[in-house]
Amino acid sequence: MLKHKHIYSLLLSAVLLGLAAGAMAQQVPMYSQYMFNKFILNPAVAGSEGYTAYNLTSRVQWLGFKDAPITNALSAQTRLIKGRFAIRLSNRRLRYIAPEYGHVGIGVHVFDDRRGLLNQSGVQFTYAYHEKIELKEQLSFGITMSLTQFRVSYEKMILYQPDRYLNSDRLSVLIPDFNIGVYYTSEHMFLGLAASQLLQSAFRFGSFNENEFRLQRNYNIMGGYRFLLIPDLSIEPSFQFKTTDQLFYQFDAGFRLYYKKDFWGGLSYRTGSALIASIGARYNNLYFGYAYDFSLNKLQTYSTGSHELMISLKFGENVRKYKWIERY
């Protein structure tokens, strides 16, 4: 029989591993197709393209492991429009004034991230401000207010005996926080910097107060540049660098080939020994993307890799003011 304190220590060790995620995930969900929905990583992206966009991302990591990480995210963003129904009287004739996008973008992001005993789910509300700085350049700023629930899965625990510290009603905490970001985009280039979990909240699970956990502040830098190779065919190298105040970091670098706006495919590498292949296609307003992560380390002996599916629905192409902003 394990003593109560020992059981609880084992639980906290498991939670700690989930929170730290090997210092690579930095306590935030990981995505392989981040370039197709940068909004979930940087609040300044909300509304920057001018579209009204809905994105669904589903990721299953390390298939073959029991209780492997599973992440689902749903987001919506838009650019607020001014003058949508404006009508001007000119020379005794009614004339419709085409709508223009204002400076404000808004968005909402709901996510659920499950890693073994630890579940992390939440909702984020974003406000962004966009300023045109040149004919085909834009600088954006954004702030997100988030509310995240961390919960230990009591039903997955196997205990040798009842433990008064492991009360299922006390294995959940609700944490408010803030994220900020800045984002630059031009006809061929994008570059963004974001910081998340700014408050670095501390919390405890249950009634046993000897172990305290603290969220780490995360920083994210991403960028890319699109080169036209021949008509209808372009290539876009891109990167993403994530780190924390403790200098735990992760780096992604790769490229994607685009044929018109309809098809794309690419390869990238992530530190921690993962090679990522991705493909995608567009049908009218619908965009579909798939990514497969192949482990290059010892995980490949036990896992068949990680799979990620992305579906995006976009509206507003017929009234978009800055058509050059599109990044697909």
Question: For each of the chain's 328 residues, which pLDDT tens digit applies?
Answer: 334 444 444 444 444 444 444 444 446 788 999 888 999 999 999 999 888 999 999 999 877 777 788 999 999 999 887 654 445 555 555 555 555 668 899 999 999 998 877 888 999 999 999 998 877 899 999 999 999 998 877 666 666 666 655 655 567 888 999 999 999 999 889 999 999 999 988 777 665 555 567 788 999 999 999 999 999 999 999 999 999 888 888 999 999 999 988 999 999 999 877 899 999 999 998 999 999 998 887 766 666 788 999 999 998 764 444 555 554 4
DSSP 80-100: EEE-TT-EEEETTEEEEPPPE
Instruction: Find where tokens 């996008």 sit.
Output: 101
Q: How far is CA 115 from the centre of its chain?
A: 16
The bridge status of strand 274-283 relative to strand 286-295 is: antiparallel
Task: Kindly list the structural domains of the chain, giving each domain's residue range(s) and its CATH number in brackets, ordered by start.
Answer: 4-325 (2.40.160.40)
Assign 3-state DSSP to the chain and report helix, strand, coil percentages, each to 5: 15, 55, 30
How many whole angstroms separate alpha carbon 41 and alpha carbon 106? 14
- Residues in a beta bridge with 307: 60, 292
Give, in order, the Cα–Cα distances in Å from 82 to each of 79, 100, 101, 165, 312. Answer: 10, 6, 6, 56, 25
Distance CA 156, CA 33 (A): 31
Tell me how far apart the alpha carbons of residues 239 and 232 are, in angstroms, rounded to a whole number: 23
Contact status, residue 141 vs residue 184, Cβ threshold 8 Å: no
CA distance 185 to 128: 14
In whole angstroms, what is the distance from residue 58 CA to residue 311 CA?
9
